[in-house]
Every structure is written in structure tokens, then in C-alpha cells.
Amino acid sequence: MKARSKNMLLAALLATALPLAAATAPDMVVLFPDLPGWTRDGDVQTFRPDNLYEHINGAAENFLACGFELLAVQNYVSENRQALTAEIYFHGTPENAFAIYSSEKPLQGDYLALGSEGYIEEGVLNFISDAYYVKLNGFDLGEAGAGALRRLGERIAQAINGRNALPTALAAFPVRGKVAHSERYFLGNFLGHDFLGAAFSADFALNGGRFKLFVMKTEGADDARARLQRWVALDKGGVGTEVRPGKLMINDPYNGPVQLHWQGDRIWGGVGSDEEIATLLKEMGDKLGQ
């Protein structure tokens, strides 16, 4: 009975997980704290979608595809003339912030309990908190560099004072076989198909096989059917296949076999023919409350 209540709660939370109402960007200047031993080097610079390329030329398209709204940048210099740069990207919703963060995070890394999640590398500390993606970079910091990055990151997270939790939809993925830190969120063009819309995904490795599981939320049952019908149309061997709630197999010409489940406004599935996928999809269905 307890397990059923837990699954029903998860299903209720997932119903509102895509998307959450967009937050309102505050005065970004107040998010940059003072840092003992360091002084601010110049004023805060801000960038919006129309001029983001001026700051991150070559990477701007990825940020824009993840709902980017505003960037604020503050440089710091230490008493020893070391340099730090703090970039705070506002993406409107925690899901959008996770989308850009997950597209850049490494599978193998020194992960931190900072904000919703973060990681640190030599001269770099990145994390998400609520609808913000924070990127800290240090130059010629030496052995004390990691400490300075951590202290600055902790103070920025305190200033944001947001909801620090990963997207609820990620709880639908089974633990068994999941590749650590492989979770991603795509706002659109999932698996290279523009009609599939947004989806959370995670990579799995079991019994020598590797595959991807995913969960999507549509605009409703009719929209879900329409998306699946367009997907089935790509499978030349499945011409005339009737799309019904329940299980469905599609031979995607670009991604290979895809095992699917459809119920109501939700679609979940796995890319691959591994036998383990069917078992894990059933577990996902239980977690989704189907």
C-alpha cells in the first residue's frame, strides 16, 4: 500500500513537471557576492538572446535552444592578481536550466552537493540552482583555486536561494543499470525528430548491452497519438499499424528499434532491442503510476 501511494505521488508530481511556470529574472547584480581576498574587476555585464553570441560565440545556439533568457557576468581579481569569472545564466524554469547543464556536464567528474547539482574540475566549477546555470572559471589559481571556486559557488547559491532539486521526472528512471550522471533533458528534436517534442532520457548498461530510456509528456492523449502516428509512418515495415494505448514497437530508420509504452498524455520507451529494456519499461510504468 505504501509503494502504491508513493507511485501515485510521483505520478502527480510528474504531471506538473513539464513544464513548471517560468520564474521571473530578478536583478542579477545582487546575485554576485563579495569574496574575501578578492575584489570585483569592473561592472556586471549582461547579455540577452539577441547578443549572447558576443560573449559565447559558437556556443550561443545551444543555450538559446534551452530557453536562455539572461546572462550576467562578473569578473573578480585577487590580491595576488589571480582572476575569476562568474557567469549566471537564467533559463526561465529549473527544467530548462537542467537541459543546458546536462548537455555540458561530464559523465566522469568530481560532483558536488551544491545547488541542485554541480561538479568541479581544474579551474572550473559549474552547478544549477532553480532556473539558474552558474559557471565559474579561474585563471592561474594554483593550489588554492578550488577553494576560491567553492566559496564563490556557495555564496552565489545562497544568494539565489532557490529550489534545489533535480527535475522530478528523473525519478521515473530505474536505478538498476543506469549510467551515473547520464540523465539529460531535451526541449525538442528528441532523437533527431522535431515532432517528438521534449523528453528526459538516461543511458543504461546491463549484461553487456547499452541502451537509452526516455519519458515524454505531451499536450494530451490526442497529441500523443499524433506524435506516435508520425513516428510509425517512418517505419516502412509498419505501414498500416494502428496506434493504440499500451505497447508499441517502431523500427526507426535513424535510431533502430524503439520499444514504447503509451498511456494518456505520457509516452515512455527505450531505444534498442535488448531484452532488459522491456523489464525496465515495466518498472518505469509502475513508477509513473500507470
User: Same structural domain for residues 195 and 266?
Assistant: yes
- Sign of the torsion formed by the C-alpha atoms of 158, 159, 162 and 167: negative
The DSSP symbol for 178 reads B
* Dist. CA 145–CA 123, nearest whole Å: 7
Residue 205: its pLDDT value, please? 94
Q: Which domain holds residue 103?
A: 20-160
> Is there a domain that residue 14 lies in?
no
Residue 1: its pLDDT value, please? 43
User: Same structural domain for residues 173 and 109?
Assistant: no
User: Same structural domain for residues 53 and 185?
Assistant: no
User: Same structural domain for residues 57 and 135?
Assistant: yes
pLDDT band at 20 (very low <50, low <70, confident <90, very high): very low
Residue where a domain stops, chosen among 95, 126, 160: 160
User: Same structural domain for residues 153 and 219?
Assistant: no
Q: What does pLDDT average to over the chain?
A: 88
> Is there a domain that residue 64 lies in?
yes
pTM given for the model: 0.87
User: Same structural domain for residues 155 and 199?
Assistant: no
User: Same structural domain for residues 180 and 144?
Assistant: no
User: Same structural domain for residues 156 and 175?
Assistant: no
pLDDT band at 15 (very low <50, low <70, confident <90, very high): very low
Q: How many domains does the chain have?
A: 2
* Dist. CA 134–CA 91, nearest whole Å: 11
> Is there a domain that residue 121 lies in?
yes
Residue 57: its pLDDT value, please? 84
Phi-psi region of 98 (alpha: psi -120 to 50; beta: other; left: phi over 0): alpha
CATH of the domain at 127: 3.40.1000
- Sign of the torsion formed by the C-alpha atoms of 89, 91, 96 and 97: positive
Residue 238: its pLDDT value, please? 65
Residue 185: its pLDDT value, please? 97
* Dist. CA 191–CA 195, nearest whole Å: 10
